[in-house]
Amino acid sequence: MATPHERWFAETLRAGIETKLLNEQDILNHATPAVLTTSLPRDVMVRVIDTTLASGTMSHKAIVDVVTLDLLAEKVPNKIVWACIAQASERGGVRDGIPKDEAPSREWCRRTLAAGLSNGVILPANVTQHVTAQVLVQSIPEALTVKLLETSLKAGKMSPDIIVETIGVDAIAKYVATNIVWAIFVKPGESEQTALAMPVAAKPKMEVFNDDDVHNVLVELDADLDAIPAPTPTKAPVVAQGSRPVGKTQPPPVTNVKPLPK
């Protein structure tokens, strides 16, 4: 049975072929005959040979049609399928935000994002990590911004779920730059895990002390303090009468002072 990741990949490949961002040859350039032979069940390989032999033709499309995109995504190693998808994104300009064909590229982004969310490979938090507040305000129409604020006020909060649900996948794919949308796919595509299965960083464990531990610590502190020698009192220096303190000078006596005129 296909995993959520494999179902996401299958839909992404299908969207790529239907929007012409990639073709069957692109797929088999990665899923080579050697990869197919070691990955696919034997009965599938028998069917490939029988079908192409009966038709008298052998082509990339014929192989993919017999195997199906769903089975390819399920049986071929994920990293190979992802490499095919990534190369299509680079070649089509999606990765760099300069798509060669605007409408097909955005449709491919839309279907890939929708499939990722529906299969749990991508979470709304993954979306807002890249489609930030600044991106939203600069990209989406003002009417959608108003709608988002109204919805959030009504809910009493702003959250990734509310943003994705209110703005919608269609609008994100239509208005946000393709390189930003593509960035949403990269980590899930490379991780081979669903977003829900990604490990969460463990919080530092707090050590708990009981009363005996505290008592022991206090006793040890008292013992340490008792071992410290008491400071030796210092005597103030005795200054002889009439002598001047060291380090200080006295002003010379004033003599020959004339009275001020009246």
For residues 154-161, give the mean pLDDT: 96
Mean pLDDT value across residues 250-260: 52
pLDDT surpassing 60 at residue 210: no
Q: How many domains does the chain have?
A: 1
Q: Is the pLDDT score of 246 beyond 50?
A: no
Please report, rounded to a whole number, the percentage of residues in the chain having pLDDT higher than 90: 71
Give per-residue pLDDT as tens, 3-39. Answer: 999 999 999 999 999 999 999 999 999 999 999 999 9
| Predicted local distance difference test score (pLDDT) of residue 231 | 52
Q: Residue 112: CB partners within 8 Å, gap ≥ 6? A: 8, 11, 12, 15, 185
Residues 174-180 have a mean pLDDT of 98
In percent, the amount of the chain with pLDDT more than 70 equals 73
For the chain, the straight-line distance linking the first and the last C-alpha, in angstroms and rounded, comes to 120
In which residue are the tokens 């060291």 written? 246
Q: 256 in a domain, yes or no? A: no
Q: What is the pLDDT of residue 214?
A: 41
Q: Taking residues 90-108, report their average pLDDT.
A: 97
The domain of 177 spans: 4-197
184 is a domain residue: yes
Q: Flag whether 255 is in a domain.
A: no
- Could you read off the pLDDT of 220-232 as tens digits, one per residue? 445 544 554 555 5
Query: What confidence score (pLDDT) does residue 191 get?
Result: 84
Q: Is residue 217 part of a domain?
A: no
Query: Is residue 257 included in any domain, yes or no?
Result: no
Whether 129 is covered by a domain: the verdict is yes
d(CA 205, CA 203): 6
Taking CA atoms, 134 is separated from 15, 137, 177, 181, 184, in Å, by 29, 5, 13, 14, 16
In this predicted structure, the answer to whether residue 199 has a pLDDT above a threshold of 80 is no
- The answer to whether position 166 is within a domain reads yes
249 assigned to some structural domain: no
